[in-house]
C-alpha cells in the first residue's frame, strides 16, 4: 500500500502529526505498536475511576503550540481548568511554592537562613543569565554547591530537579531551574514591558497560572485530535510495531512491520530516537549516532488511589511535592479538578515517584512514605492501580542531545519529547510537530 505519509507511533506527537498532515491533504497511515492510541497521554477506566498515564499539569495550553495546531487544523480543544497551585508538603503542612519575591517571606518549608541564601543564589543566576554567560553545561548542583544551603533545602532542590528534568541536581541544567523566575527575556524588552516584568517578579507573578488540566481527563486531548480525523485520509492501525524504516540511497521510502511493507516518501517517527539506529535500514552518520548515545531517560512509578470519602489536607486544587523523608513524590488529587473522574463520594489521587534503583524498591519505599505522610489512608482505599512509565523520551540533562525534527535522511522526520527541549511533556511534543511542519513547508511538501 502507498500513502502520502506514514506516522510511526500514536502518542500525542504522532496523532498530532497525522492530523496536521491530513488537513494539508495528505493520506496518512498511523502505525502503533500497542493496542491503544495516546501513548503517555491516555486516560482509561479502572473500577469506575478515570485514571491518566501519570499526573499531568499541562503548560501554556491555551496559547501554546498544541492549541495553535488544533485551532489551525480543526481539532478544537477540550474544556480546560486551571491546574491550581503547586505546594511543598512538609511535616508542618502545605506550603504554596513562592513565585514572587513577596511570597518568600511567608514560605515556611525552609528556614529564614535558607531563604536569604536562596535569594542570593537566584539573583546571581539571574545576573549570569542576563550577561549571557554560556550556562548550557552548568548544573543546578554547580550553581548551589558553593552556597551554605541546609540539608533540608538541598533535598528540596534535588527533588524539584528530579520532577522537572527526570534527573538529579548534578545532571539538571541550572538554566532549567532558574529561568522561571520572571526576569528571563528582559534584555529584549522595552521599558513598559520591563516594568511589567519587574512587577510580576516582585509582586504578582504566579507559577500556577500557566498550567492546565482537561475536563474528562488527559484522554480528552487525544480524543479532540482523533475526532477531527477524516476517515478517508487517516488510517490508524494499532497492534502494529514498525520493525524497520526503509531507507534507500539516503531517502525514506517506507516502513516494514512483521514482514509487511508500507510505502511512502514521508515517514514521521515518534518512537524512541535513542533507538533510531536500530530501526533505519541504512547507517546513520557517525556524529549523529554518537549524539544519540547522550540521550538519557527517567522511569516513573505512579500509584493511583480511589478513596472512600476524602483525604484530610487534600482538599485543594493543584498538586504537591513531598521531599522531607523516604521517597520523594509528586501527588495530585485529580478529582478535585474534575469530580466526574471518581464515583460520587469518592476521591481520585495520584502519587508519582522517580525510579532511581528498582521499581520494587520504589514501590515499597514509596508506599511506606505515603503511609507516614497520610497515616490511616490505607483504611480508605477502595481502588489501587500502578503504572511504570518513561515520562519523556529524553530527560533534560546538562549534556543531552535534541536533534530537532529533520533527520539525516531525506523524507524521515522526527517528532516527540526527545526532539525538542522547550517546555514540558505534551507541550514539548507539540513544539516538535510545529517545527516539523515548518521544515516540511520549507522543503515544498505543502503550501499553507
Ligand atoms: C508519570 C508521568 C507524568 C507526566 N506529567 C506530565 C505533565 O505534568 N505535563 C506534561 O506536559 N507532560 C507530562 N508527562 C509527559 C507526557 O505525557 C509525554 O511527554 C507525552 O505524552 C509524550 O508524547 P510523545 O508522542 O512524544 O510520546 P509517547 O506518548 O511515548 O508516544 C509514542 C508512541 O509511539 C509508539 N511506538 C514507539 N515505537 C514504535 C514502533 N516501532 N512502532 C509502532 N509504534 C511505536 C509507542 O507505543 C507510543 O504509543 C508525564 C508523563 C508521565 C508518564
Of the chain, the percentage scoring pLDDT greater than 90 comes to 74
Comparing 59-73, 86-100, 137-151, 205-219, the range with the smallest average pLDDT is 205-219
Phi, psi (rounded to 5 degrees) for 347: -120, 145
Are 271 and 239 part of one and the same domain? yes
Q: Give the separation between CA 7 and CA 17, rounded to whole angstroms.
A: 7
Q: What is the pLDDT of residue 189?
A: 52
Mean pLDDT of all residues in 38-57: 97
- Average predicted confidence (pLDDT) for the chain: 90
Are 259 and 196 part of one and the same domain? no
Q: What is the pLDDT of residue 137?
A: 81
Are 173 and 224 part of one and the same domain? no
**Ligand 1 proximal residues by C-beta, below 6 Å:** 8-14, 31-34, 39-41, 53-58, 241-242, 270-271, 300, 302, 352, 389, 391-393, 416-417, 424-427, 429
Are 140 and 182 part of one and the same domain? yes
Are 103 and 245 part of one and the same domain? no
CA of 375 to the centre of ligand 1 (A): 33
Residue 445 has pLDDT above 50, yes or no: yes
Q: What is the pLDDT of residue 134?
A: 65
Q: What is the pLDDT of residue 121?
A: 86
Q: Whose CA is nearest to atom 32 of ligand 1?
A: 11
Kindly indicate the confidence band of residue 203, based on its pLDDT and cuts at 50, 70 and 90. Answer: very low
Q: Is residue 72 a part of any domain in this protein?
A: no
Q: What is the pLDDT of residue 210?
A: 82
Are 140 and 282 part of one and the same domain? no
Residue 186 has pLDDT above 70, yes or no: no
Q: What is the pLDDT of residue 123?
A: 81
Q: At which of 204, 230, 258 does a domain end?
A: 204
Q: What is the pLDDT of residue 205?
A: 46
CATH code of the domain in which 193 resides: 1.10.405
Q: Is residue 228 a part of any domain in this protein?
A: yes
The separation between CA 126 and the C-alpha centre of its own chain, rounded to angstroms, equals 25
pLDDT tens, residue by residue, 111-134: 889 988 888 888 888 777 777 666
Hunting for cell 489536607 — which residue is that? 313
Q: What is the pLDDT of residue 195?
A: 52
Q: What is the pLDDT of residue 119?
A: 82
The grid cell for 220 is: 480528552
CA of 258 to the centre of ligand 1 (A): 23
Q: Is residue 361 a part of any domain in this protein?
A: no
Are 112 and 195 part of one and the same domain? yes
Residue 171 is part of which domain span?
Answer: 98-204
Residue 424 has pLDDT above 80, yes or no: yes
Residue 213 has pLDDT above 50, yes or no: yes
CA of 232 to the centre of ligand 1 (A): 26
Instruction: Find, among 329, 337, 403, 333, the residue nearest to 368 by Cα.
Output: 329
CA of 323 to the centre of ligand 1 (A): 26
Q: What is the pLDDT of residue 314?
A: 96
Kindly indicate the confidence band of residue 25, based on its pLDDT and cuts at 50, 70 and 90. Answer: very high
Residue bearing the bigger pLDDT, 152 or 198: 152
Residue 285 has pLDDT above 60, yes or no: yes
Q: Is residue 45 a part of any domain in this protein?
A: no
pLDDT tens, residue by residue, 366-390: 999 999 999 999 999 999 999 999 9
CA of 388 to the centre of ligand 1 (A): 12
Q: What is the pLDDT of residue 309?
A: 97
Are 12 and 122 part of one and the same domain? no
**Among the atoms of ligand 1, which is closest to the Cα of residue 31?**
43
Q: Is residue 52 a part of any domain in this protein?
A: no
Residue bearing the bigger pLDDT, 344 or 447: 344
CATH code of the domain in which 281 resides: 3.50.50.60
Q: Whose CA is nearest to atom 5 of ligand 1?
A: 56
The separation between CA 391 and the C-alpha centre of its own chain, rounded to angstroms, equals 7
Kindly indicate the confidence band of residue 175, based on its pLDDT and cuts at 50, 70 and 90. Answer: confident
pTM: 0.92
Hunting for cell 476524602 — which residue is that? 310
Amino acid at each position: 500500500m502507498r500513502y502520502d505519509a506514514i506516522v510511526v507511533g500514536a502518542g500525542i506527537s504522532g496523532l498530532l502529526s497525522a492530523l496536521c498532515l491530513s488537513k494539508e491533504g495528505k493520506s496518512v497511515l498511523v502505525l502503533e505498536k500497542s493496542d491503544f492510541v495516546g501513548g503517555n497521554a491516555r486516560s482509561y477506566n479502572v473500577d469506575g475511576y478515570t485514571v491518566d498515564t501519570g499526573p499531568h499539569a499541562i503548560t501554556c495550553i491555551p496559547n501554546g503550540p498544541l492549541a495553535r495546531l488544533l485551532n489551525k487544523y480543526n481539532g478544537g480543544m477540550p474544556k480546560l481548568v486551571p491546574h491550581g497551585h503547586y505546594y511543598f508538603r512538609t511535616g508542618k503542612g502545605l506550603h504554596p511554592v513562592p513565585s514572587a519575591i513577596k511570597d518568600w517571606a511567608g514560605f515556611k518549608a525552609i528556614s529564614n537562613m535558607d531563604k536569604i541564601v536562596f535569594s542570593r543564589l537566584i539573583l546571581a543566576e539571574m545576573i549570569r543569565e542576563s550577561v549571557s554567560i554560556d550556562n548550557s553545561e552548568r548544573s543546578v548542583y554547580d550553581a548551589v554547591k558553593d552556597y551554605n544551603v541546609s540539608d533540608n533545602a538541598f533535598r528540596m532542590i534535588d527533588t524539584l530537579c528530579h520532577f522537572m528534568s527526570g534527573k538529579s541536581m548534578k545532571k539538571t541544567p541550572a538554566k532549567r531551574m532558574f529561568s522561571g523566575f520572571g526576569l528571563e527575556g528582559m534584555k529584549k524588552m522595552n521599558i513598559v514591558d520591563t516594568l511589567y516584568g519587574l512587577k510580576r517578579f516582585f509582586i504578582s507573578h504566579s507559577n500556577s497560572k500557566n498550567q492546565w488540566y482537561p475536563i474528562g481527563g488527559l484522554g480528552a486531548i487525544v480524543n479532540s485530535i482523533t475526532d477531527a480525523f477524516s476517515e478517508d485520509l487517516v488510517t490508524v492501525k494499532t497492534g502494529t510495531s514498525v520493525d524497520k524504516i526503509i531507507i534507500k540511497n539516503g531517502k525514506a521510502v517506507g516502513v516494514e512491520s512483521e514482514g509487511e511493507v508500507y510505502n511512502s516518501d514521508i515517514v514521521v517517527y515518534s518512537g524512541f530516537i535513542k533507538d533510531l539506529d536500530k530501526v533505519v535500514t541504512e547507517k546513520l552518520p557517525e556524529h549523529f549516532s554518537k549524539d544519540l548515545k547522550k540521550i538519557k531517560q527517567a522511569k516513573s512509578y505512579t500509584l493511583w488511589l480511589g478513596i472512600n470519602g476524602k483525604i484530610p489536607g487534600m482538599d485543594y486544587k493543584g498538586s504537591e511535592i513531598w521531599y522531607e523523608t523516604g521517597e520523594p513524590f509528586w501527588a495530585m488529587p485529580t478529582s478535585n479538578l474534575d469530580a466526574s473522574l471518581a464515583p460520587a463520594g469518592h476521591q481520585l489521587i495520584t502519587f508519582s515517584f522517580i525510579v532511581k534503583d528498582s521499581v520494587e524498591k520504589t514501590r515499597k519505599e514509596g508506599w511506606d512514605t505515603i503511609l507516614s505522610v497520610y497515616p490511616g489512608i490505607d483504611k480508605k482505599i477502595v481502588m489501587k492501580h500502578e503504572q511504570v512509565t518513561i515520562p519523556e523520551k529524553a530527560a533534560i540533562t546538562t549534556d543531552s542531545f535534541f536533534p530537532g525534527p529533520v533527520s539525516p535522511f531525506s523524507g524521515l522526520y522526527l517528532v516527540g519529547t526527545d526532539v525538542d527541549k522547550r517546555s514540558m511533556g505534551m507541550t514539548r511534543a507539540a513544539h516538535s510537530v510545529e517545527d516539523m511542519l515548518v521544515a516540511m513547508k520549507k522543503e515544498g511538501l505543502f503550501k499553507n
